[in-house]
Amino acid sequence: MGDLNDLKQKRGIGNLNSEKMPYDYFDREYGTVPRDTQRAPFQWVSEVAYKNVHRIVARGYDTTELMEEGYGVVDVLFVDYQARIPLIEEEQMLNYVLILALEDGLSPPAAMSRIVARSKTFLTQAAAASILAFGHAYGAYSAFGNRLEKYLKKADTEKLSLADAAARLVKDWAAKEPESLGVSNLMLKDPAAKRMIARAEKLGVAGKFIAFMKEIVKAVQKPSQEPVDLDMLGATGAVMMDLGFSAEATWAILAVTRALATGAHYIEEIERLPYWQLGQSLTPKEDYDGPADRPVPPLKDRAKVAQSAVCHSVDEWVQAREARKKLVGSGHAIVEEIEDPSKKSGIKKVGKL
């Protein structure tokens, strides 16, 4: 075929033959060229771990040696996320948290796993679906933890008491994101949240976050017209942060911990029930409460029945908006600010320190 550059030069491609080009495009080399030692090659750099044919090393510790010495998974979570071996009391506390977090019955993550399982997928896909169920309301550890840090910093810089900082936090966020305050009516009869705090205090690992969480509970209870108390988000989030884990690390650890249990739900689902096939599931009219059955108008009559969404005045728009809010499934009744997801999670910068 001859020299590829010669062929392309004779053919001419766009402006590549132009004399205004600062270089001769068709004189460029094809194939392997000597490495440019003046420029850094692409490579991953990690402070967390490395691996060769002899060993896996996490934060400087040989993982085989950690196991042989008798350290467990909980210990290595501290190594991976905090580059340290924990106190025995800290190891016991995190073990307590993870056991409570591992299984929660047929909760949304388990339900997600089971639904995905019935579609004949891999177990890992079902586990991934369960992690996706940890949103900013269900598992709001990131938003919760970053908020606690923010207002504790305010308390420090503005010389506020914990009670005053908690009152300000509640005033700022109670109406915006009540589900991520860590206080609700969910645990009025269930003592699990208070037991977790009591356990942290008994082990001597309770710190400023648990103390602050107690003040937040009081600040929410004071104006509340109904009984509310510490819930699992508040207890777990505060304990994890007193153990030294960041809000993001807490979110990751607890979501993946729950995914471990959803694997069992996946296995049970496919062992007890057959797979679903595409089109197999029916949704009968008895389960439908939308508009009554109606004839499809002939296309020639479209102009007679079609309706425009354009509003010509503010009043007309408000009226249309209220009407659309009554149309379930339209999304018009959802009130949500569209913002950078990283800011919603509490992270202020993406990919930067």
Q: How high is the pLDDT of residue 336? A: 65
8 Å CB contact between 188 and 226: no
Q: How far apart are CA 69 and CA 320, in angstroms?
A: 69
Q: How high is the pLDDT of residue 239? A: 98
Q: How high is the pLDDT of residue 350? A: 44
Distance between alpha carbon 35 and the CA centroid of its chain, in Å? 41
Using left for φ > 0, alpha for ψ between -120 and 50, and beta otherwise, residue 331 falls in left
Q: For 104-185, where are the alpha helices, taking DSSP H only?
A: 108-117, 123-132, 141-157, 162-173
Q: Identity (one letter) of the amino acid at 259? A: A
How many CA atoms are closer than 13 Å to the CA of 295, on its beta-carbon side? 5
**Residue 47 domain-assigned?**
no
Distance between alpha carbon 270 and the CA centroid of its chain, in Å? 27
Range of the domain at 153: 87-278
Q: How high is the pLDDT of residue 170? A: 94
3-state secondary structure of 306: coil
**Residue 42 domain-assigned?**
no
**Residue 305 domain-assigned?**
no
3-state secondary structure of 57: strand
8 Å CB contact between 277 and 118: no
Distances (CA, A) of 331 to 79, 107, 318, 324: 44, 25, 16, 9
**Residue 252 domain-assigned?**
yes
Q: How far apart are CA 264 and CA 253, in angstroms?
A: 18
**Residue 52 domain-assigned?**
no
Q: How high is the pLDDT of residue 351? A: 43
Q: How far apart are CA 135 and CA 139, in angstroms?
A: 5
8 Å CB contact between 182 and 233: yes
Q: How far apart are CA 196 and CA 96, in angstroms?
A: 8
Q: How high is the pLDDT of residue 338? A: 52
**Residue 243 domain-assigned?**
yes
* DSSP assigned state of 291: S
Q: How high is the pLDDT of residue 165? A: 96
8 Å CB contact between 56 and 64: yes
How many folded domains does the chain comprise? Answer: 1
Q: How high is the pLDDT of residue 342? A: 54
Q: How far apart are CA 10 and CA 1, in angstroms?
A: 13
Q: Which two tokens stand for residue 300?
A: 């020639």
**Residue 299 domain-assigned?**
no
**Residue 338 domain-assigned?**
no
Q: How far apart are CA 341 and CA 348, in angstroms?
A: 10
Q: What is the pLDDT along the chain (353 residues), one digit of tens a residue?
A: 456 677 777 777 778 778 888 878 777 777 777 888 898 888 888 999 999 989 999 999 999 999 999 999 999 999 999 999 999 999 999 999 999 999 989 988 999 999 999 988 898 898 888 888 887 777 889 889 999 999 999 999 999 999 999 999 999 998 888 888 999 999 999 999 999 999 999 999 999 999 999 999 999 999 999 999 999 999 999 999 999 999 999 999 999 999 999 999 999 999 998 888 777 888 888 888 888 998 989 999 999 989 898 999 999 999 999 999 988 888 888 776 555 555 555 554 444 44
Q: How far apart are CA 139 and CA 142, in angstroms?
A: 8
